[in-house]
Amino acid sequence: MAIEQKDVLFTLVKSLSKSEKRQFKLYVGRLGGNTEANFISLFNLLDKVTAFDDDLILKKTNIKKQQISNTKAHLYKQILVSLRLNPVHQNVRSQIREQFDFAAILYSKGLYKQSLKILDKAKELSLINGENNLAYEIVEFEKVIESQYITRSLSNRAGALSAQAKELSLKNSRTSKLSNLSLQLYSLLLKEGYVKNDEDSQKVHAYFEKRLPKYQLSELGFREKLFLYKAYLWHSLILQDFVLSFKYAQKWVDLFEENPEMKKQNPVFFLKGVNYLLESLYLIKHKTKFNKVLENLNSDIQNENISLNDNTKTLTFLYYSQNKLNLYFLEGRFHKGIRFITKLLEEIKSYETKIDAHHIMVFYYKIACMYFGAGKNEECIFYLEKIINNKDLKMREDLLCFSRVLNLVAHYDAGLDFDIDKLIISTYKFLIKMNDLHEVQRKMISFLKSLSVIYPQDLRKAFVKLHEELSEFENHPYEKRSFLYLDILSWLESKIQNVPVEIIIKQKAQKLMK
């Protein structure tokens, strides 16, 4: 998920921890001649500076201009080799691959029985940990050895290997189909968000059913179940069936609870499952369970129950922070959320090279909503404009649309309505272009446009009328998505009752807890 904006070698060097740098120097220093090598000089330079170019390399080292490219490539490779040897980066997959390499070396030396013995142990390790692709490679290698050399007296050896290869091939094929379906649905969710009408819903459902392979749940292994639950989760989220999305997110997390060793082998998948469980609970407003799951996640992070590396540290920051914001939304504690945002913005800056632009913009939208809920509309507008003015942004179209709708409302609330007609027109055109103009948005824009001709004494009646009209869509299968991004009903109620929107949302949260 990292976004590399600088030279890849420079980024790699700067990502190294102190222990990784120490190991690298020990690794390259194993031969005395390396201490003065060009790539060591380059490493020491990059380790010290905060920015560099080729001119600095020429000035600070003995590397000639024509040597720079090769030296950088060599250093990059040596760092990766050193990291590969680091116990921190060792896992079951690397152990299996190492054993496979050992077996290949023994095979090339004609030590066939030794090679098969290592392969047998590596295969067992692969099957125990659900690494069926690696297990299939091992079986294929065993078949090569068995087909060329008489190594065993068991007459059924060839048949057993063939049957095992066939079974693993079927499992891998099914896993591949499920993972492809999961990825394609996830991509659709990121790009377009939720379905907008019956036609969209039917298309998504038909797409899902056509690509879902036939299966018996009792026959599925860990990875097959994982991708199956993921596919069902994305499917239900796109269809806005949030109760069903909670069901499959819970199955995803339960799969790891039933196989705790997989948390260490696949920490990223586990973290993503917890994140989507939290998102589903947020969408169905189940605050009690949401709070419990979030507390458990925080406990796992603090106690390092999850394998922590640069990638998982980034994900734990991302998922915990986003869901902490969601907790403030559920509770209606916007001013307390703003205090959390101050620290959050500093952390976002420290992770900015490792978090993609989409997730940063999601943070900005949530931050804008927090300021809006606290009645700080100018700050809300500031963060919305970061999204609106980002022309290169590739993120969910529905978030882009609702950023503009919220921007309109915040301008009105802030009293910045001197140019609001132009803003209304540009928002309307954008929604039309995105094919995302729904009844809730249409009524909102029409209402804001009519404000200039409504007498002050009639304003409350206008708010009441709009609230009655929009309330009809609160449980609509497609229009309800508008209220997921912007709690416009609570905003209208705050206008009608002449109290801050934070008080309205807090009252609703308390009722849900009873």
CB 163 within 8 Å of CB 256: no
pLDDT value at residue 65: 86
How far is residue 114's CA from residue 85's CA, in Å, rounded to a whole number? 24
How far is residue 53's CA from residue 66's CA, in Å, rounded to a whole number? 14
CB 486 within 8 Å of CB 438: no
pLDDT value at residue 185: 92
pLDDT value at residue 301: 82
pLDDT value at residue 153: 47
pLDDT value at residue 184: 92
Which uninterrupted H or E stretch holds 114?
A: helix 112-128
* pTM to 2 decimal places: 0.79
Structure tokens that stand for 511 in this block: 């009722």
DSSP string over 12-38: HHHH--HHHHHHHHHHHTTSGGGGG-H
Compute the chain's Rg from CA coordinates.
Answer: 28
CB 175 within 8 Å of CB 227: yes
How far is residue 255's CA from residue 265's CA, in Å, rounded to a whole number? 13
What is the 3-state secondary structure of 494-510? Answer: HHHHCCCHHHHHHHHHH
DSSP string over 429-470: HHHHHTT---HHHHHHHHHHHHGGGS-GGGHHHHHHHHHHHH
CA distances in angstroms from 474 to 388, 397, 439, 483, 490, listed in the order given: 26, 21, 12, 7, 12
Cα–Cα–Cα angle for 364, 369, 374, nearest 5°?
125
Q: What is the pLDDT along the chain (514 residues), one digit of tens a residue?
A: 444 446 888 888 988 888 889 888 888 877 655 656 888 888 988 888 888 788 888 888 888 888 888 999 999 999 998 888 877 667 888 889 999 999 999 988 888 889 999 999 999 999 988 899 999 999 999 988 887 765 554 556 778 888 889 999 999 999 999 999 999 998 888 777 788 888 889 999 999 999 999 889 998 999 999 999 999 999 999 998 999 999 999 999 999 989 888 888 888 999 999 999 999 999 998 989 999 999 988 888 888 777 777 888 899 999 999 999 999 998 889 999 999 998 999 999 888 878 888 888 899 999 999 999 999 999 999 999 999 888 776 666 777 888 888 888 888 888 887 777 788 888 878 877 776 667 887 888 888 778 777 777 788 888 888 888 888 888 888 787 777 777 888 888 888 998 888 888 888 877 765 4
- Short-list 376, 278, 260, 374, CA closest to 318: 278
pLDDT value at residue 513: 59
